[in-house]
Chains A and B, each alone.
Chain A
Amino acid sequence: MSTATATTTYTYTHTATYLSDVIMGTIADVLALLGITPDGATRWDQDQSAIAAWIEERSLEMVVLECRRPDGKVRPIFEFPVTYKATGEGEFENSRAAMARAHAKITSVPSGTTYRLFCTYRSGHTPQPGWGPGTRASTDGLRSTSFGTLAEAPHASASARYLR
Chain B
Amino acid sequence: MQRRREIASAPKRSAGEVWQTIRVLLGDTLDRSSSVKRADVDAALDPLGGVARMLISAGHLEGHPLVLVAGELWLEITTVSGGSALSLQENLNPVPGGAGASDWTLHVPQVEPMAKLVRTTVNGHDHLSADEPTAPVQEAAKASGGVDLDAVARWAREAA
Contacts and interface: CB of A to CB of B under 8 A. Distances in A.
A39 B58 CA distance: 16
A98 interface: no
B58 A29 contact: yes
A123 B2 CA distance: 52
A32 interface: yes
Interface in B36-78: 49-50, 53-59
Interface of B: 9-16, 19, 49-50, 53-59, 81-83, 86-87, 113-114, 116-117
A17 B83 contact: no
A92 B83 contact: yes
28 contacts: A14-B11, A17-B14, A20-B10, A21-B9, A21-B81, A25-B56, A25-B57, A25-B58, A25-B59, A26-B58, A28-B53, A29-B58, A29-B113, A29-B114, A32-B113, A32-B114, A38-B54, A41-B50, A44-B50, A44-B54, A45-B16, A48-B14, A52-B14, A91-B82, A92-B81, A94-B82, A96-B58, A153-B11
A21 B10 CA distance: 7
Contacts of B55: 28
Interface of A: 8, 10, 13-15, 17-18, 20-22, 24-26, 28-29, 32-33, 35, 38-41, 44-45, 48-49, 52, 91-94, 96, 103, 153
| Majority-rule SS of A interface residues | helix
B114 A24 contact: no
Task: Give the interface centre of A21, A22, A38, A103 by most chain B CB atoms within 10 Å.
Answer: A21
Task: Give the interface centre of B13, B19, B54, B116 by most chain A CB atoms within 10 Å.
Answer: B54
A41 B52 CA distance: 9
Contacts of A22: 10, 57
B12 to A, nearest CB: 8
B57 A41 contact: no
Contacts of A39: 50
B86 A48 contact: no
A20 B9 CA distance: 12
Task: Give the interface centre of A10, A18, A49, A91 by most chain B CB atoms within 10 Å.
Answer: A18
Contacts of A18: 10-11, 81-82
Nearest to A45: B16
B29 to A, nearest CB: 22
A17 B11 contact: yes
Contact of B14 (A15, A21, A94): A21
A24 B15 contact: yes
B14 A103 contact: no
A93 B10 CA distance: 11
B50 A21 contact: no
B86 A41 contact: no
B50 A40 contact: yes
Task: Give the interface centre of A32, A35, A38, A93 by most chain B CB atoms within 10 Å.
Answer: A32
Nearest to B49: A41
A44 B58 contact: no
